[in-house]
Amino acid sequence: MADVLKRVPVREQDAKVRATNFEEVCYGYNKEEAMEEAGRCLNCKNAKCIQGCPVSINIPAFVSKVKEGDIEGAYEVIGESSALPAICGRVCPQESQCESKCIRGIKGDPVSIGKLERFVADYALENDIKPKKAEKTNGHKVAVIGSGPSGLTCAGDLAKLGYEVTVFEALHELGGVLVYGIPEFRLPKQKVVKKEIEKVKELGVKFETNVVIGKSTTIDQLMEEEDFEAVFIGSGAGLPMFMGIPGETANGVFSANEYLTRSNLMKAFDDSYDTPIAAGNKVAVVGGGNVAMDAARTALRLGAEVHIVYRRSEAELPARVEEVHHAKEEGVIFDLLTNPKEILVDENGWVKGMKVVKMELGEPDASGRRRPVEIPDSEYEIELDTVIMSLGTSPNPLIASTTKGLETNRRKCIVAEEENGQTSKACVFAGGDAVTGAATVILAMGAGKAGAKGIHELLSNK
């Protein structure tokens, strides 16, 4: 009998092998492993894990279905709360959400809720189990802007309630950050994202790509000319930030957004696609978040020696522990407590290195983390040919600046109520990174659900 305090280990691609390919890192559980792991769940009456889930999945209920081997039943339970379980099972920070509340975690490993969710969702994708559709439409038209996690969730929830939903996407591909931001090796595009979006389509949601709201048309025009009664804005936080240090416009300096978009959305890593990417031989990724890890691991797979340059220490890395662990395993080098001062440029305008300074941690700052301060006279130069800036993103002002009466805050985020997504403009709702600034997929999904609820309350009382 296996040790009940330990979770059933999940199989992964060997670190040395996967550092050279774009195949998925984690293989996930098979049915036997999933049932064994589900057996560890104590099925708590007052289940804390549900409180830890931003979309309140009935976790003990789906886990008991898995335990019984009723995977289709488990999928139905998850489907009541989440439209994108195959995605969440892969990219949610479960360790700080549902799993952090698990009673099993007090003495041993918490139940692998994320891996179980992923198994159930993958089973549904492989066996083509369809989500439950509304019996008939209610005739109300709703527009959703952006096909990322918040938009897909909002659209899916409304379609289930019978609304006629159209999702407008600015890019040529559906999925938002799921396709342009998160790399293939963490979230397969064909096998998972595309299929998960197919399920939303099966609910009756219509999609229109290549429509940039604010340019191709506006929210006011959608409501006045195309008869949409309500609009949900899930346009994300797409604008990259730079440091403002000398040399940042040199050739070989990229935003993480550009680097990842080239590789993920445009598939530059695959030779049969036309978009080029400057792979680099020696790459520095500046920043310590999940996006920085994604960029670093992408550059590594394209054949470069990769350094993460981060101004605080390992304890403060904002990235998920699992991502940092995977990056290290694969050979990404961490230059911690190090901050760039200047990018050094050769006579042809290309990056040749970076001047950095050593840092130490001082007093805690507003975020509660200890503030990094420069160590005097500790500057040195590193040789590089590529620098990827991964310093966070802010919302695109395109929608706010073209929609009358839509209030934004100082950080250019759209102001919206947390419980129902209502903005300052009547019949317009918003959620996800466009409201909060860059956050996680699951928080955006939670906001998409709240928006759907708000829109339903508005239109069902009409």
Partner 1 sequence: MYKILKAEKLADKIYLMDVEAPRVAKHCQPGQFIIVKMDEKGERIPLTICDYDRDAGTITIVFQEVGASTVKMAELKEGDSFCDFTGPLGCPSEFVEEDIESLKNKKMLFVAGGVGAAPVYPQVKWLKEHGIDADVIVGAKTKDMLILEKEMEAVAGNYYPCTDDGTYGHAGMVTTKIEKLVEEGKKYDVCVAIGPMIMMKFTCLLTKKLEIPTIVSMNPIMVDGTGMCGACRVIVGGEVKFACVDGPEFDGHLVDFDNAMKRQQMYKTAEGRAMLKLQEGDTHHGGCGNCGGDN
State the nearest-atom distance from the C-beta of 277 to partner 1, in Å. 8
Query: In whole angstroms, how close is the CB of 210 to partner 1 at the nearest point?
Result: 4
First to last CA, the chain: 59
Stretch that binds partner 1, among 115-123, 258-266, 357-365, 432-440 (CB under 8 A): 258-266
| Stretch near partner 1 under the rule CB under 8 A, chosen from 156-164, 240-248, 320-328, 329-337 | 240-248
- Where in 180-239 is the site for partner 1 (CB under 8 A)? 180, 209-212, 215-217, 238-239
Distances (CA, A) of 17 to 43, 45, 358: 38, 44, 33
- Smallest distance from the beta carbon of 75 to partner 1, in angstroms? 31
Determine, following the binding rule CB under 8 A, whether residue 175 of this chain makes contact with partner 1.
no
User: Site for partner 1 (CB under 8 A): which residue of 4, 133, 246, 273?
Assistant: 273
Closest approach of partner 1 to the CB of residue 385, in Å: 12
Answer yes or no whether residue 263 interacts with partner 1 by CB under 8 A: no
CA distance 67 to 312: 43
Residues 6+ apart with CB under 8 A from 364: 370, 371
Q: What is the size of the binding site for partner 1 (CB under 8 A)?
A: 41
Structure letter (DSSP) for residue 262: I
255 near partner 1, judged by CB under 8 A: yes
What tokens were used for 375? 């160590």
The Cα–Cα gap between 220 and 16 comes to 53
Residue 202: CB minimum distance to partner 1, A: 22
Site for partner 1 in 337-396 (CB under 8 A): 348-349, 396
Q: Can you spell out the DSSP letters for 30-89?
A: -HHHHHHHHTT----SS-HHHHT-TT---HHHHHHHHHHT-HHHHHHHHHTT-S-HHHHH
Query: Does residue 248 interact with partner 1 by CB under 8 A?
Result: yes
Q: How far apart are CA 213 and CA 81, in angstroms?
A: 28
Provide the 3-class DSSP secondary structure of residue 406: coil
Residue 320: what are its φ and ψ, rounded to 5°?
Answer: -60, 145
Among 172, 206, 325, 411, binds partner 1 (CB under 8 A): 172
- The distance of closest approach from Cβ of residue 345 to partner 1 in the complex, given in angstroms and rounded to an integer, is 9
Task: Write out the residues near partner 1 by the rule CB under 8 A.
Answer: 170-172, 180, 209-212, 215-217, 238-240, 242, 244, 248-252, 254-255, 257-258, 261-262, 265-267, 271-276, 278, 348-349, 396, 398
